[in-house]
C-alpha cells in the first residue's frame, strides 16, 4: 500500500502479496461511514505558538550500531507476528516476521514511504532488531540489529515515521538510545544519540514527529515523567521534567503537531493524567482524566477530528476509552469491553472515520475493537485465536488498512 493515507478509499488491489489463512471468528466488516464526530466541533482551541524551545541538553554519546547475526532460538523465544486488514473486510491475513523475539516486551510498528518497519527486542533482551516489509513483498527481512550484546537489559522499543524512514528509541540500562533508519535501509553508521540523564526506567518510551522535530516522552526510575525534543539537523536534545517524582510510571503516550504536544500517562495510584503544551512555551497544563484506582498498565493516544482520544486498561482487565474536544477539559469515558477482556496495554489508531483498538486478551488471543466517530457503540472481533499473543500489540495505519504487530508462542 502507498503512503498517501487516503482513508476514504478502500483498497482493492494486492496490498501484501501473501497466501494466508483468515482466522476464525474474524467478526463483522468495518465499512466506510459518514463522519459524525462524537467530539464537539467549534470548541475553543489551545492558543497556538510555533517558537521552538531552545536546546538545553546535549546528546551524551554518539553510538555505533552493529549488524549482528540471527540470535539462536531458545525456550524463551516467541515468534514475531504481523496481521493486516483492508477497510471493509472481516479478514485479517497474517505473516510470521521472525522466529525469535521477546515474549514479554511489546514490539513497535510504523510506516515509511514504501513499506512497513517492525522493531522488537530479543528474547534475552541483549539485542534490538528492525524488520522491513516493502509494499508488495511476500516476506520480511532483518534490516538491522543493535547491541551491545554483552548486556541483557534492553527495554521495549518505540517507533515513529518521518518522511524518509523511521526513528526509534529504546531503554538500555538507565539510558535512552535513539537511532534512525532511512527508507527501510540500515541506519547510517554512527547516526544515533544516547541520553544518560535522568535515570530512565525500562518501560518503553513514546515518540512523535512534528514537521521539523522529534519528540519523546519517557518515565524514569524515580517515577518522574520527562519530555525530550530534537530539532532536525541538531545533535542536541532539549529536556524538561513534566511530572514527578513519584507521579508517573510505565509507558506514556504522546501526540504532536506544529502547534502543540500532548502526553498521557498513568500515575502510581492508578489514575489517568493528560498534559498539553503550546510549542515554544515551557508551561505544561495538567488534567486528571480519571481518578485513583481506575486504570492500570499502559496507555494509547490519538489526536484526530478536533479531539484527543485515549485508551487504557480499566478495572479487572476491562478496556476503557476517553475523549475530549480540543479546547475543553471535559473528558468522556466509555467502556469498550468488560472485565476479563485484556492484559497488558492496548494499541490504538484513528482509522477510516473510526477509532480502532487492538489488545491481547487474557487467553492470549488477539482482539480488535472499533467504533464509528460520533457513536458510543463499540464492535469487537477476535482476529487470532487463543495462544497467539503474549506481548501487548502495536498498531499503525496505512492507505486503506490497519497493520498490527505482536509476539507470542
> CA 22 to CA 34: how far, in whole Å?
28
User: What are 141's strand-pairing partners?
Assistant: 132
Confidence of residue 151 (pLDDT cuts 50, 70, 90): low
> CA 376 to CA 16: how far, in whole Å?
32
Instruction: Identify whether the C-beta of residue 97 lies closer than 8 Å to the C-beta of residue 110.
Output: no
Phi, psi dihedrals of residue 35, rounded to the nearest 5°: -65, 125
| Three-state DSSP state, 98 | strand
Distance of CA 207 to the CA centre of its chain: 8
In this predicted structure, what is the pLDDT of residue 76? 66
User: What are 324's strand-pairing partners?
Assistant: 308
In this predicted structure, what is the pLDDT of residue 365? 98
Sign of CA dihedral 278, 280, 285, 286: positive
Average pLDDT over residues 291-300: 94
Phi, psi dihedrals of residue 320, rounded to the nearest 5°: -110, 145
Instruction: Identify whether the C-beta of residue 321 lies closer than 8 Å to the C-beta of residue 331.
Output: no
If phi over 0 gives left and psi between -120 and 50 gives alpha, with beta otherwise, what is residue 246?
Answer: left
pTM: 0.83
In this predicted structure, what is the pLDDT of residue 199? 86
135: closest CA among 119, 118, 116?
A: 116
> CA 343 to CA 271: how far, in whole Å?
18
pLDDT digits (tens, 9 = 90+) for 27-80: 443 333 332 332 222 333 322 222 222 222 232 222 333 322 233 334 468 999
In this predicted structure, what is the pLDDT of residue 230? 93
197: closest CA among 160, 158, 157, 237?
A: 237
Calculate Rg over the CA atoms of the chain: 20
> CA 157 to CA 229: how far, in whole Å?
17
Amino acid at each position: 500500500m502507498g503512503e498517501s493515507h487516503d482513508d476514504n478509499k478502500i483498497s482493492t488491489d494486492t496490498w501484501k502479496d501473501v497466501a494466508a489463512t483468515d482466522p476464525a471468528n474474524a467478526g463483522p466488516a468495518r465499512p466506510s461511514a459518514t463522519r459524525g464526530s462524537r467530539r464537539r466541533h467549534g470548541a475553543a482551541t489551545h492558543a497556538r505558538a510555533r517558537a521552538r524551545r531552545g536546546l538545553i541538553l546535549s546528546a551524551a554519546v554518539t553510538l555505533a550500531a552493529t549488524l549482528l547475526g540471527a540470535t539462536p532460538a531458545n525456550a524463551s523465544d516467541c515468534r514475531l507476528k504481523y496481521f493486516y486488514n483492508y477497510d471493509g473486510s472481516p479478514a485479517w491475513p497474517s505473516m510470521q516476521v521472525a522466529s525469535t523475539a521477546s515474549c514479554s516486551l511489546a514490539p513497535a510498528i510504523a510506516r515509511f514511504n514504501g513499506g512497513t518497519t517492525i522493531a522488537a527486542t530479543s528474547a534475552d533482551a541483549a539485542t534490538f532488531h528492525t524488520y522491513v516489509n516493502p509494499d508488495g513483498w511476500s516476506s520480511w527481512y532483518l534490516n538491522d540489529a543493535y547491541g551491545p550484546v554483552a548486556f541483557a537489559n534492553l527495554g521495549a522499543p518505540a517507533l515513529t515515521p518521518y518522511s524518509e524512514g523511521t526513528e526509534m528509541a529504546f531503554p538500555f540500562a538507565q539510558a535512552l538510545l535513539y537511532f534512525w533508519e532511512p527508507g527501510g535501509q540500515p541506519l547510517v553508521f554512527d547516526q544515533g544519540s544516547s541520553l544518560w540523564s535522568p535515570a530512565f526506567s525500562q518501560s518503553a518510551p513514546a515518540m512523535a514527529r512534528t514537521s521539523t522535530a522529534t519528540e519523546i516522552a519517557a518515565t524514569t526510575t524515580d517515577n518522574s515523567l520527562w519530555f525530550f525534543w530534537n530539532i532536525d539537523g541538531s545533535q542536541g536534545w532539549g529536556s524538561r521534567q513534566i511530572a514527578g517524582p513519584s507521579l508517573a510510571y510505565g509507558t506514556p503516550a504522546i501526540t504532536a503537531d506544529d502547534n502543540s504536544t500532548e502526553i498521557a500517562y498513568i500515575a502510581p495510584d492508578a489514575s489517568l493524567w493528560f498534559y498539553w503544551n503550546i510549542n515554544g512555551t515551557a508551561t505544561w497544563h495538567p488534567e486528571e482524566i480519571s481518578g485513583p484506582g481506575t486504570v492500570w498498565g499502559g496507555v494509547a493516544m490519538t489526536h484526530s477530528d478536533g479531539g484527543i482520544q485515549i485508551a487504557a486498561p480499566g478495572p479487572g482487565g476491562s478496556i476503557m476509552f476517553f475523549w475530549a474536544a480540543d479546547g475543553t477539559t471535559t473528558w468522556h469515558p466509555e467502556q469498550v469491553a468488560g472485565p476479563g477482556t485484556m492484559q497488558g496495554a492496548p494499541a490504538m489508531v484513528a482509522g477510516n472515520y473510526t477509532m480502532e483498538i487492538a489488545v491481547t486478551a487474557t487467553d492470549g488471543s488477539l482482539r480488535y475493537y472499533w467504533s464509528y466517530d460520533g457513536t458510543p457503540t463499540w464492535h469487537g472481533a477476535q482476529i487470532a485465536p487463543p495462544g497467539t499473543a503474549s506481548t501487548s500489540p502495536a498498531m499503525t495505519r496505512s492507505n486503506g488498512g490497519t497493520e498490527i504487530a505482536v509476539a507470542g508462542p
